[in-house]
Amino acid sequence: MTMTKPVQADTPTPPPDDAQVTTADLRRAAWASSIGSALEYYDFALYSLASALIFGPLFFPGADPTTGLILSFSTYFIGFLVRPIGGIVFGRLGDRLGRKFVLMATVAMMGAASTLIGLLPTYDGAEGDWYGAGGVGILAPVLLILLRVVQGLGAGAEMAGASILMTEYAPRRRRGFFASLPFMGVQVGTVAAALIYFLLYSAGKDAITSTWHWRIPFLASIVIIAVAVWLRLRLKESPTFRKLEARDQIAEHPLRELLSNSRPTLLRGIGLRLAENGSSSIYQALAVAYVTSAAVGVKGPIGALSLVFAATLGAVMVPIAGRLTDRFGRVKVYRGFATFQLVAAFPVWWALSRGSTVITIVVISLALGIGTWGMFGSQSAFMTELFGSRHRYLGVSVAREVSAVLSGGLAPLLGAAIIAAVVAADGGSGTPGAGLGSWVWLAGYTALLCAITVATTFVTPDPTDRDLEDPRDAVDALRQPA
């Protein structure tokens, strides 16, 4: 049964509430949220590219290239695995202590972890390491994993907080547009990481892995931390949370309340995210590893170049998608982008298997820039409005991060195993175009995630413009209208 009727509020939100948020407040919130998003996705794109291109020889040098790729993506997956824990811990704090407090903590954790990765010793040591020491053996990947865990814990609530904050700040009729603005920070972070890797990779892969140059992108995180913390110190708490606090309506046990009352909404949120989060990891990390592997044989900094073009297109698409949801509703727009990604899955992976540099850049740009980031831009207000006010932060965090484990974290790991199996079956010849059959499996996995999301949109109510002070989830508000 299709449920796309917008959920109406119990009682209209009084006009004076909107008046309490000044233009300066709205602008400051947008900047504070966007910078944090830029940091998260700078780290995300940075780690994706490093996992696909350099972490294997730096931290797992004893393995053959395909096994090293699997081990490298395993550390990538660990970051996703702990994100639900971070979502639960910081989501509870966000619903009890406020959005601002958590956003300060998460941006500091992510930035510190990324910066420290840039200071790690490697397995064998590299010529020109700044600390003048040799490798530390197995301790190197252990330290990498520990810092990846810290990254994952912080990321588990960062994007949820940014989207909630802007949705609760924004004027009701323009929530989709304003809530999408922090997600433009995603494109800024992605472009920054990709450009840095492109410049470094232009000197040659061996030059990166044998010198300290690979550390530069990670160390640069400290600059973003400083700016993000400064902006968030000056930020006011969200208007919705201030009202809950003033009325003493803050949930004492938001996790218990969430699990008791919001399981249907959680399942819908997870289903909605599978295509977006899965496709993001698939095209940013797995596709890059695939086209540069012996299965296809593309040479050069193709991954970085693809991300630059894709993120530039995404920066345009994100606010357009947000504005479209204000006009046509959250569900219809989100379903449209998910359907595009579903239809494109097999043609995109077939094109990637051809081994053409130009075609690779074009199809990754379209798949990411339009499909994935179109969903991203239309998702922010959508996910926030699905949950009731008392456990909103926790609900959005858990839905986002459980889906991140199921799709975003697993996708590169499973895909790397498929690539390794195909290369092994071909004898590891390294011939460009060898093992083209692997693209069918990779496309099938992408299409499966998208199909689940499209199906989920048909059982999800449209929460456009609902009252954010309503403690009920959108599903319950639709069943029991005022």
Q: What is the DSSP code string of 278-345?
A: HHHHIIIIIHHHHHTSTTT---SSHHHHHHHHHHHHHHHHHHHHHHHHHHH-HHHHHHHHHHHHHHHH
CATH of the domain at 398: 1.20.1250.20
Q: Name the pLDDT band for 318 (thresholds 50, 70, 90).
A: very high
Least reliable range by pLDDT among 104-118, 150-164, 190-204, 262-276: 190-204
Which DSSP letter does residue 235 get? Answer: P
Residue 137 belongs to a domain: yes
pLDDT (mean) for 175-193:
85
pLDDT (mean) for 258-272:
91
Instruction: Report d(CA 118, CA 115) in Å as an integer.
Output: 5
CA 470 to chain centre: 28
pLDDT (mean) for 77-96:
81
Helix-strand-coil split of the chain, %, nearest 5:
75, 0, 25
User: Has residue 407 got a pLDDT over 50?
Assistant: yes
Which DSSP letter does residue 95 get? Answer: H
Q: Name the pLDDT band for 326 (thresholds 50, 70, 90).
A: very high
Instruction: Report d(CA 132, CA 146) in Å as an integer.
Output: 23
Nearby residues of 380 by Cβ (< 8 Å), 6 or more positions away: 163, 166, 167, 176, 179, 180, 182, 183, 322
Least reliable range by pLDDT among 269-278, 325-334, 471-480: 471-480
- How wide is the angle at C-alpha 48 spanned by C-alphas 304 and 82, nearest 5°? 160
pLDDT recorded at residue 203: 63
pLDDT (mean) for 258-271:
90
User: Has residue 11 got a pLDDT over 50?
Assistant: no
The percentage of residues in the chain with a pLDDT greater than 90, rounded to a whole number, is 20
The residue whose two tokens read 């600059």 is: 223
The DSSP H or E segment spanning 344 is: helix 330-352
Give the CA dihedral 191, 197, 198, 201, nearest 10 degrees.
-170
Angle between helices 392-403 and 83-97 (to 10 degrees): 170
Instruction: Report d(CA 199, CA 116) in Å as an integer.
Output: 22
Instruction: Report d(CA 107, CA 228) in Å as an integer.
Output: 7
pLDDT (mean) for 384-399:
88
Residue 440 belongs to a domain: yes
pLDDT (mean) for 42-56:
75
Tokens of 351: 């094109």
pLDDT (mean) for 283-307:
74
Q: Decide: pTM greater than 0.85.
A: no
Residue 14 belongs to a domain: no
pLDDT recorded at residue 14: 44
Compute the residue count for the chain.
482
User: Has residue 107 got a pLDDT over 90?
Assistant: no
| Domain count of the fold of the chain | 1
- Pick the most confident of 263-267, 335-339, 376-380: 335-339
Domain range for residue 92? 21-479
User: Has residue 142 got a pLDDT over 60?
Assistant: yes
Give the CA dihedral 59, 63, 67, 71, nearest 10 degrees.
-30
What is the rounded average pLDDT for all residues in the chain?
79
The percentage of residues in the chain with a pLDDT greater than 70, rounded to a whole number, is 81
User: Has residue 310 got a pLDDT over 70?
Assistant: yes
pLDDT (mean) for 426-442:
57
User: Has residue 207 got a pLDDT over 60?
Assistant: no
358-369, pLDDT tens digit by residue? 888 899 999 999
Residue 13 belongs to a domain: no
Tokens of 201: 């990779």
pLDDT recorded at residue 250: 65
pLDDT recorded at residue 441: 81
Q: Name the pLDDT band for 385 (thresholds 50, 70, 90).
A: very high
Residue 8 belongs to a domain: no
Instruction: Report d(CA 48, CA 303) in Å as an integer.
Output: 10
The amino acid sitting at 351 is: A
Terminal alpha carbon distance of the chain = 22
Taking alpha carbons only, the member of 355, 65, 402 closest to residue 258 is: 402
Taking alpha carbons only, the member of 153, 135, 152 closest to residue 90 is: 153
pLDDT recorded at residue 63: 62
pLDDT (mean) for 291-304:
70
Instruction: Report d(CA 156, CA 401) in Å as an integer.
Output: 6
219-229, pLDDT tens digit by residue? 888 887 788 78
Residue 94 belongs to a domain: yes
User: Has residue 103 got a pLDDT over 50?
Assistant: yes
Angle between helices 65-81 and 139-169 (to 10 degrees): 40
- Pick the most confident of 28-32, 41-45, 333-337, 400-404: 333-337
pLDDT recorded at residue 323: 95
Backbone angles phi, psi at 6, to 5 degrees: -60, 140
Q: Name the pLDDT band for 382 (thresholds 50, 70, 90).
A: very high
Tokens of 339: 């359907």
pLDDT recorded at residue 400: 87
- Asked whether 393 and 99 are in contact (CB, 8 A), the reply is yes
Residue 251 belongs to a domain: yes
Distances (CA, A) of 248 to 245, 401, 456: 5, 29, 35
237-249, pLDDT tens digit by residue? 777 777 776 665 5
Residue 52 belongs to a domain: yes
Tokens of 352: 């990637």
Helices (H) and strands (E) in the chain, counts: 23, 0
Instruction: Report d(CA 57, CA 65) in Å as an integer.
Output: 8
pLDDT (mean) for 5-20:
44
Neighbours of 207 (CB within 10 A): 13
Instruction: Report d(CA 131, CA 119) in Å as an integer.
Output: 9
User: Has residue 148 got a pLDDT over 70?
Assistant: yes
Least reliable range by pLDDT among 59-73, 210-224, 377-391, 393-407: 59-73
